Amino acid sequence: MFTKILIANRGEIACRVIQSARKMGIRSVAVFSDADREARHVALADEAVHIGAAPSRESYLLIDRIIAACQQTGAQAVHPGYGFLSENAEFARRVEEQGIVFIGPKHHAIAAMGDKIASKKLAAAAGVNCIPGVNEPVLSPQEAVEIARGIGYPVMIKASAGGGGKGLRVALDDKEAFDGFTSCRNEARNSFGDDRVFIEKFVEQPRHIEMQLIGDSQGNIIYLNERECSIQRRHQKVIEEAPSPFISEATRKAMGEQAVALARAVRYESAGTVEFVVGRDQSFYFLEMNTRLQVEHPVTECITGLDLVELMIRVAAGEALPLTQQQVRRDGWAIECRINAEDPFRNFLPSTGRLVRFAPPQQTMAAADTGRWNGVRVDTGVHEGGEIPMYYDSMIAKLIVHGRDRAQAIAMMRDALNGFVIRGVSSNIAFQSALLAHPDFAAGDFNTGFIAQHYAGGFLAEQVVHDDPGFMLALAAFVRRKSRERALSISGQLPGYGVQVGKDYTVIALGSDGRHVYHPVHVDEFVGETGSATIGVGGKRYAICCVGRLNDICLRGSVNGEPFTAQVERASARNPLGLRLQHNGARIEVLVVSHRMAQLHSLMPHKPPPDMSRFILSPMPGLLVEVAVQPGQKVQSGERIAVIEAMKMENVLFAVADGVVAKVLASKGESLVVDQAIVEFS
């Protein structure tokens, strides 16, 4: 067994590998860029080596520096994690040539599966179901149209070296096939340096289901059940679960056996995943093979009771697999939500900056600990006070739950999301909560088009409707009554001028039209010692019990005998009476005041928000890499104004109307914050 391994990665996956290495008594070496000097994976590792500047092409993607770090520290093996160099056959080959063990498959297997055209040919030869199509590179848009007609629309046009949704188009007719081929080829050339494109049948209402497998150097290969990954946004997975609520036992067995057959064809060692697209009739077809550990591997660990990272390390060290196919378990149900630094209400634009507060829900199971299951797990590479840099992907954490069945797992996940406190950057928690609450998701009735179908116009704040709005108002009144109780206990109050604690309040909330709505509430039977009260709102009564402190953001308690987890905090320093509440994805901001104060408040004139239509505002924090206009320039609607870069994304801003540029308020190279003005029009 190795005594020291280097993790050629960062963030959450680097921390995950370090945990398994520590459990096995193996010392770990982290590598870091300028942006990651204070990162969590650097603090967790036994040693750390600086490898370059913040951009990944100047640090985490430099093979020579990774190998030099291994030689400098005496690391005997390298774990690549996922992303970066994890599926780079050249990296695996060069590591092996230096006498360093690559904790993953051999370079020949990576190369064979990394080329989508070659991998489909291998899969077909191994007896794996393949989607009808042409596996030779298509040479022209005219040829693309002819092939598409022969296969039958709809078809999928895909770049051979594509991934992450790049180089992929769905065509429904000749025109879309012609245009899609050209777009795919250009995108593939620019993104991957490889413009080969092929065409295959598009499976309608498809599900994305993948089979986890692992093999050793003795030729043993087993599959570890499937993962359901159909909840995707722009081909990026959002929620994963294991097992799938859709496939039958017979389909599971057939998919697993075909995945193993493909792995045998390339003499596969280590953990890998064979991805399938599955039709409504449970017909399934090979999509691609990922020759690495997947982001969503924790859900497989939960239902099998295995530590996949430990198995990868042991297999790389030459050990045989410790179990057979018949010994693979499938216990309970696991769900994973990817918590990303993005703003779902701004079309999921990246959100960078400092994590002012980061308090995940309490963990009852942990990565690398195979002794505890059924509970909540958080895999993360960040810490409170740390930075979410603009140079890498937007993942903050992975939230995983494991329950006895799917219904319990969904309930556990909703509660865990309610208790996940993130401040300083935006997160997609509200969106995750909405997805979990959707009746089609609860019924298991979805496919890869679920998000596009139900949120075609984006994720809007008005779509997040709480199933019991009265509870949010009652909780606000409960917290306000509790603060008045504390004020009452302050000593030294002058006779006749002490704090008066009433039972009747008005909760002032903002309506959908931007105007205030006034809700009378009555607080009765308040008992400070037990943290309980009965609150009447709109003819309904809420018996709330919560012993949390007033400065706790996350409150746990019960309402009418049912447990709840919610977040409550003071809205702002300028509005000390205001409260901001979050529960089940819904968020409201309210004032809780006496009836007299509410009457006076209602007399205040409505103040509309300022008119910012003359400005181009930055929709996200990021780097201003281009300003395409100058003062005095006439601009037409749709004309390019500026380009902002953040988290591997370029966001181009266009003019929404004709006008003349009055001022350019930000300069190229400037770091922008959300809603910062870039250009003003006259």
Cα diameter, the chain: 92
Residue keyed to tokens 């794996």: 128
Cβ atoms within 10 Å, residue 559: 19
Alpha helix (H) ranges present in 272-424?
A: 297-304, 308-316, 406-418
First to last CA, the chain: 70
Q: DSSP of 187-208, one letter per residue? A: HHHHHHS---EEEEEPPSS-EE
CB 347 within 8 A of CB 380: no
CB 627 within 8 A of CB 611: no
CB 178 within 8 A of CB 184: no
CB 358 within 8 A of CB 384: yes
User: Among residues 353, 259, 420, which one has the least CA distance to residue 618?
Assistant: 353
Q: Which whole-number Å values give the CA distances from 270 to 80, 215, 265, 313, 330, in the listed order?
A: 12, 5, 14, 8, 20
CB 286 within 8 A of CB 131: yes
* Buried b / exposed e along 517-539 (16+ C-beta atoms within 10 A): ebbebebeebeeeebbbbbbbee
**Residue 403 carries which DSSP code?**
E
Q: Is position 288 annotated as part of the catalytic site? A: yes
Q: Are strands 540-545 and 554-559 parallel, antiparallel or unpaired?
A: antiparallel
Backbone φ and ψ of 211, nearest 5°: -115, 120
- Rounded Cα distance between 430 and 435, Å, is 9
CB 501 within 8 A of CB 481: yes
Q: Which of 12, 226, 228, 288 is catalytic?
A: 288
Active centre residues (catalytic):
288
